[in-house]
Amino acid sequence: MATIELREHGVRAADLASVRAGLVAFAEEMYGSLARCDQRAKGELYLRGLLLEGRRKSIQPMAARLPDGDEQGLQQFITDSPWDDLPVRRRLARRMTKEIAPEGWVVDDTGLPKDGRWSPGVGHQYCGALGKTANCQVLVSVNAVTDQASCPLQWRLFLPAAWDEDSERRARAKIPDDVRHRAKWQLALDILDELLGWSLARRVVQADGGYGDITAFRSG
């Protein structure tokens, strides 16, 4: 198996090229639920864009870095193409559970700094990446962990309460009508229920005080 060097913002182009065949096979497995071959191809292209070295991981800079980059095609794949991401997430969770053989599941949330007010779920809230309150999105995740490795198995976008009544932002961000504010600990329980519904073996659940201090979360 080829050895690749993982840098702070991704993998070097030469290293990525050396494992291209493995990436194609992995993408075929993960995106196997997509009916169209062009969608599966865009999925593999997007995967390479995320892995490739570069600080910004939005569509335009990723497409510019890829030798076969297709900005319009990637944008359509992510924002407009009618494919269901749930089977992809389920395949990823099952595959990585086999790869990692987790000793536990860790509940965590991740802040993604953002500019402006139109990104889905963005708000002035605590951002762990910056260590302070800032304009960001927050993702709640449940991660498979060992002493050697970790991988998110499933995640949810936290929607601040202010978004429930902001019809303009909801429309621009294409937030479905049935998606409303839920506390982070509730999102974590939703994820745990979903993982068990995917027939993943139960694991010890670990979380910090932001979750563990909540009686309803511990009971759940």
Tens-digit pLDDT profile for residues 158-195 = 999 999 999 999 999 999 999 999 999 999 999 999 99
pTM of the model: 0.87
Rounded Cα–Cα distance for residues 114 and 100 (Å): 32
**What is the reported pLDDT for 1?**
42
Half-sphere exposure in the Cβ direction for 72 (13 Å, CA):
0
Give me the residues of the chain with pLDDT under 70, please. 1-8
**What is the reported pLDDT for 15?**
81
**What is the reported pLDDT for 14?**
84
Per-residue DSSP letter, 40:
H
Per-residue DSSP letter, 125:
E
Q: Which two tokens stand for residue 162?
A: 């202010």
Pairing of strands 205-206, 150-157: unpaired
